[in-house]
Amino acid sequence: MDANQNNDPTKKTYHKRATGKALETVEKHSQDHELKLFGSCFCPFVQRVWISLEMKGLDYQYIEVDPYKKPQQLLEVNPRGLVPALRHGDWGCYESTVLMEYLEDLQMGEALLPSVPKLRAHSRLWSDHVNRHIVPGFYRYLQAQDEKSQIEHGEELKEQISKLVDAADKSGPFFLGSKMTFVDVQMAPWVVRLRKVLHPYRGWPDPDPTSRWAAWVDAIEQDHAVRATTSTDALYIDSYERYFVRV
């Protein structure tokens, strides 16, 4: 196994190489290219940008970096040394949502934001909800160690997800209807980690099979770009092991 296994925070448990379908995608995109994604295989913020690149069918180079060691090529693009970071020619930028918007603004390949201004605003509003409430809620729940706070944060996460589901197109399966778009991509890495991380570590329940939420989760999990950027289950289990207290 290519992971560090101990409790020293400077030697966190994380993989340095994608596995499964994500590794196949890394290998397909190993050639030098002016558009470079600096990523780490375990990182959900990277996966958002990676899914966008795959959905758009753009040519790009994927460069695996260790954000805890912060190599110079990453620091040159993002002085804070976080992934994802994107270099395009001699210019670079970072922050996953900003990078997804940059890829939209290139107007190459499939558009993930709709063209109608009101639907674009609606997408941005709910993308903000994902960033402001669902993503932090996911980590609060994962980090909660005692039973009382696990119950509290689990409920909080469910409530924030319900608000998103209520705002989604009624027949779906995706946020705006039959096609996966911006909000789905923003949410997808955490949907993947609900089953692969919160289920084993926190007992997160499978969705009620007849619910709108179940149809959404299923559509995201089956999407080709999500699958192409997802590693095998063990990588996620190992990556989040440091939060694990058996419930």
Ligand X SMILES: N[C@@H](CCC(=O)N[C@@H](CS)C(=O)NCC(=O)O)C(=O)O
Q: Which residues bind ligand X (CB under 6 A)?
A: 40, 43, 45, 67-68, 81-84, 95-96
Q: Report the residue number, 84 or 137, with the smaller CB distance to ligand X.
A: 84
Q: Report the residue number, 59 or 66, with the smaller CB distance to ligand X.
A: 66
Give least dist CB 81 to ligand X, A: 6
Q: Report the residue number, 135 or 215, with the smaller CB distance to ligand X.
A: 135
Q: Report the residue number, 55 or 100, with the smaller CB distance to ligand X.
A: 100
Give least dist CB 190 to ligand X, A: 12
Q: Report the residue number, 46 or 215, with the smaller CB distance to ligand X.
A: 46
Give least dist CB 105 to ligand X, A: 17
Q: Report the residue number, 68 or 91, with the smaller CB distance to ligand X.
A: 68
Give least dist CB 102 to ligand X, A: 12
Contact 158, 194 (CB under 8 A): no
Give least dist CB 46 to ligand X, A: 7
Q: Is the dihedral of CA 163, 190, 127, 207 positive or negative?
A: negative
Give least dist CB 104 to ligand X, A: 16
